[in-house]
Amino acid sequence: MFCDISCYKPDLDACMARVRAFFACAPNAPDALIITFPSVLTLRGPVLNQYDFETDIRSYLDDYLAYQAQLMEVRRGMEDDWIPSVVPYMGIGEFSAFVAGQIEFGDDTSWCKPVLQEKHELDALRLDPENKWFVRLNYVTGYMVQHIAPYRIPFGRGYYSPLDLAWALRGEAIYMDFYEDPDWVHKLLDFTTRATIWFARAQANEICAPQFAHELSTWYCSPNRVAVGEDISSLCSPTHYSEFGAPYTQRVFDSFGIGEVHCHSAGPHVLPEFLKLKRMRQIQIVADPNTARPVEILANLMDKHPERFGRSSDFAVMAVDVTADEAVDYYDLCRRARVVFSVVTDEAEEAKDAVHMFRSRQSA
């Protein structure tokens, strides 16, 4: 199904050296990086609700790994700055079911209904190592790692932030709770912070299991690094995020040592709050429809908050979704911060053209 990572990335050693130098702010580091993702929107993965996750999860995992191998084959020889990896996907339901709830599967995503209809139900929630989905998700990660480790392919994944997990468990009512019962919200967030750390550590143990460890095992995930999604922040005011989001995400980062945030272009008003977090390695801004482009948001932030940006390890790397043209047109953003330009294309040839354009601009 897979071949050694060097088959997909012939310039693996040079690429690793570039990326390491970039994040370490070494004297020979490139000004910016480019990563490309051809065909992820056109090569469809397995249809989730066609599988029985209760009794035959391996059928899905085998088909999903075959799909990931197809994506890697599409990218074979791509001279960008991405190290090939496998990431799990079963929809958003898995991000909270390890605490409570039953996952409902659709064609291409999944979800869990909120379980905290009443506030007193929080007292009954436990971090249960026998929870069906906690056990199952650890099995999923171990199974996938086992199948990619012989080929030196790293595994990558992220988690809900404590605030996102609180929203998943409570539902839309949490927005009223901010006003009506903030003390209860803090109690819930204390629980979801502990849950996030607990689950992420369990996953890290599977990802870095000694029997499967190789030199790239910790490239994207490790016991000392964690990535969280702050999607719900888009629907919060900066004041609410600074009270109900930032302190708890900070606890997660402090527990692991270093952290990364995934957020959306629909919530640019909260980005300055992310920039205040300590131990922040990278902030990823992905593009939403009918919103400002991530590069426009980043340029605006740099103008308004120049003190939050710089080209040293004291400042977070900024990763932004771009078109091939935007990666060139906005290249000079990397003069004020370390920037990773992420290009999604329909075809591999478009991605190769994007890399060529970028490298030409980079060497100009």
**Mean pLDDT calculated for residue range 310-339:** 97
Q: What are phi and psi of 285, to 5 degrees?
A: -110, 110
Q: Which of 281, 163, 274, 308 is nearest to 226 (CA)?
A: 281
Q: What are phi and psi of 142, to 5 degrees?
A: -60, -40
Please report, for the chain, the start and end positions of each structural domain, with discontinuous segments joined by +. 5-362
User: According to DSSP H, which parts of the chain are helical?
Assistant: 5-8, 12-24, 57-74, 94-97, 132-148, 162-170, 174-180, 182-207, 238-244, 246-256, 271-274, 294-304, 324-329, 348-362
The 10s digit of each residue's pLDDT in 191-204 is 999 999 999 999 99
The DSSP code sequence of 234-271 is: GGS-HHHHHHHTHHHHHHHHHHHS-EEEEEETT-GGGH
Confidence category of residue 144, pLDDT binned at 50, 70, 90: very high
Confidence category of residue 364, pLDDT binned at 50, 70, 90: confident
Reduced to 3 states, what is the DSSP secondary structure of residue 160?
A: strand
Q: pTM of the predicted model, to two decimals? A: 0.97
Q: How far apart are CA 268 and CA 235, in angstroms?
A: 10
Reduced to 3 states, what is the DSSP secondary structure of residue 6?
A: helix
Tell me which H or E stretch contains 159: strand 159-160
Q: Dihedral angle at the C-alpha atoms of 3, 10, 156, 325, nearest 10 degrees?
A: -130
**Mean pLDDT calculated for residue range 91-106:** 97
Q: Give the pLDDT of residue 181.
A: 98
The 10s digit of each residue's pLDDT in 158-177 is 999 999 999 999 999 999 99
Q: What percentage of the chain carries pLDDT values higher than 90? A: 98
**Mean pLDDT calculated for residue range 205-217:** 96
**Mean pLDDT calculated for residue range 69-95:** 96
Tokens of residue 159, six digits: 């988690």
Average pLDDT taken over every residue of the chain: 97
Residue 343 β-bridge partners: 36, 322
Residue 41 has pLDDT above 80, yes or no: no
Q: How far is CA 141 from CA 147, 209, 210, 221, 223, in A?
A: 10, 11, 14, 12, 15
Which CATH number describes the domain made up of 5-362? 3.20.20.210
Confidence category of residue 7, pLDDT binned at 50, 70, 90: very high
The 10s digit of each residue's pLDDT in 265-296 is 999 999 999 999 999 999 999 999 999 999 99
Q: Give the pLDDT of residue 269.
A: 97
Confidence category of residue 42, pLDDT binned at 50, 70, 90: confident
Residue 221 has pLDDT above 80, yes or no: yes
Q: Give the pLDDT of residue 39.
A: 86
Q: Dihedral angle at the C-alpha atoms of 57, 62, 66, 72, nearest 10 degrees?
A: 80
Q: Which of 240, 298, 292 is nearest to 271 (CA)?
A: 298
Burial 17-43 (b: 16+ CB within 10 A, else e): ebbeebbeeeeebbebbbbbbbbeeee
Cα 69 → chain centroid: 20
Confidence category of residue 26, pLDDT binned at 50, 70, 90: very high
